[in-house]
Amino acid sequence: MIGRRGAALAATVLLTLSVFGCADQTGNTAQPLAPAVPAQDLRSPGAPQVHPRWQSCSKEPSSYQRGDDDSAALTMPRLAGNFHPVAAIICGLGPQHRPDGGIDAIAAEDRVDDVAALLTALHLPDEPPLPEPSDDDESPVRACTMNLVLPPWLALLDAEGRWVRPGIPLDACGHPRYEVMTAIDKARRTRIATRVLQEIESAEAAATGCSDVWADMVWVTGMDSATRPAEDLAVLADDGASVHACIYRVPVGEQRSEKPRGAVVSRHLLPAGRWAAIKRQVEAAGPVQACSTPASRFALLMPTDIYVELDGCQRILAPAAPRGDGTSSDTLRQAPAALPALLTK
């Protein structure tokens, strides 16, 4: 369970950006032997459409719309020889840290003036698809994966300011060619515009470690508690440690869902001596009891990564002691009756 907050925050950032149609995406489902779709069957014929003078990413809807436009560059016509780019525009989304510690989701517009390497990569041909292996073929076969690899939204500008969206060369698996993605990554960019789309994490959340929205991981873990082996409790923080209590309320519509999301209702530094009392209660917690009542409120203690259901089944989820092989997990226990009051008073 160690590092769960960092992983969950990263997932929150990705989820927020996906809502706005982040066009620079790479996902790996780790499924080998995905069938290769022939590039020639995907590619639109002809030359890219030449648009009038470029204005900005914010005025080009396809640069931030969700849906099939995310992968449109993989099927668009290839760059034609009668269009002569002198610069490139890259429209993208990403997180931006504020001076107050908060994080915003932003839309950014970058300009690339040295496009020589990028153009070389864009002129590469589509690779032929991998052949289907025969049943009696025992030779090593390169396998495709089901990775979702989408290039950033890219426009090329000529000396007159006109622009095109070039088709991206595909590899044998129907993914963007490595050379193109490398050229885009290494391009020297100049940031020319930034727009804040929404807040991902508030300054208060960053300062306290209590995110504005969080999942009830006790419920998530408790769904398979019958199959989880009992784990010893890890050594908890010293009695004098500085610990924040994050209290979340779970709406009725979220309760019993696969991952109930709660909204923060309070976040505070525990007063002197309170963590020591809570620690004793956690250490005294007994085996978890059979229960299926969802919690409407839960607490998360940071940075100790301890969850407590404040009603419902009133269970605890805490870090477990390392196993003999060096790995570690969580331990699910039944909260003593006095524990919820210590967290909310």
322 in the same domain as 234: yes
Q: Is residue 7 part of a domain?
A: no
Q: Is residue 18 part of a domain?
A: no
pLDDT of amino acid 328: 77
102 in the same domain as 152: yes
- Tracing tokens 């398979």 back to the chain, one arrives at 224
Distance CA 294, CA 259 (A): 11
Distance CA 200, CA 14 (A): 10
- Between the CA atoms of 277, 282, 284 and 287, what dihedral angle is there, to the nearest 10 degrees? 160
Residue 128: both structure tokens together: 């032929």
Q: Do 195 and 105 contact (CB within 8 A), yes or no? A: no
Q: Is residue 6 part of a domain?
A: no
294 in the same domain as 223: yes
HSE-CB for 9 with a 13 A CA cutoff: 18
49 in the same domain as 114: yes
Q: Is residue 174 part of a domain?
A: yes
221 in the same domain as 160: no
Q: Do 176 and 168 contact (CB within 8 A), yes or no? A: yes
Q: Is residue 16 part of a domain?
A: no
69 in the same domain as 166: yes
Q: Do 279 and 237 contact (CB within 8 A), yes or no? A: yes
Which residues, including other chains, have CB under 8 Å from residue 90's CB and lie 6 or more apart? 109, 110, 111, 112, 152, 153, 154, 184, 187, 189
Distance CA 3, CA 329 (A): 11
What is the largest distance, in Å, between two alpha-carbon atoms of the chain?
77
194 in the same domain as 52: yes
Count Cβ neighbours within 10 Å for each residue of 22-54 and write b for 16 or more, e otherwise: bbbbeeeeeeeeeebeebeeebeeebbeeeeeb
Which residues, including other chains, have CB under 8 Å from residue 166's CB and lie 6 or more apart? 48, 73, 76, 78, 79, 122, 154, 156
Which of 34, 28, 159 is CA-nearest to residue 87? 159
> In which domain, by residue range, is 72 found?
23-200
Distance CA 11, CA 3 (A): 13
Distance CA 113, CA 190 (A): 9
87 in the same domain as 27: yes
81 in the same domain as 165: yes
Number of domains present in the structure of the chain: 2
Instruction: Cis check for the bond before 271: say yes or no (omega within 30 of 0).
Output: no
Identify the domain boundary among 200, 232, 249: 200
pLDDT by residue for the chain (345 residues), tens only, comes to 434 555 455 545 554 555 444 434 444 433 334 444 555 577 888 899 999 999 999 998 877 654 434 578 888 999 988 999 999 999 988 899 999 999 999 999 999 999 999 999 999 999 988 777 666 666 555 677 777 788 899 999 999 999 999 999 999 888 899 999 999 999 999 999 999 999 999 999 998 889 999 999 999 998 866 556 678 999 999 999 999 999 999 999 999 999 999 999 999 999 999 999 999 999 999 998 889 999 999 999 999 999 999 999 999 999 999 987 878 789 999 999 999 999 988
Distance CA 145, CA 142 (A): 10
270 in the same domain as 166: no
Single pTM value for the model: 0.67
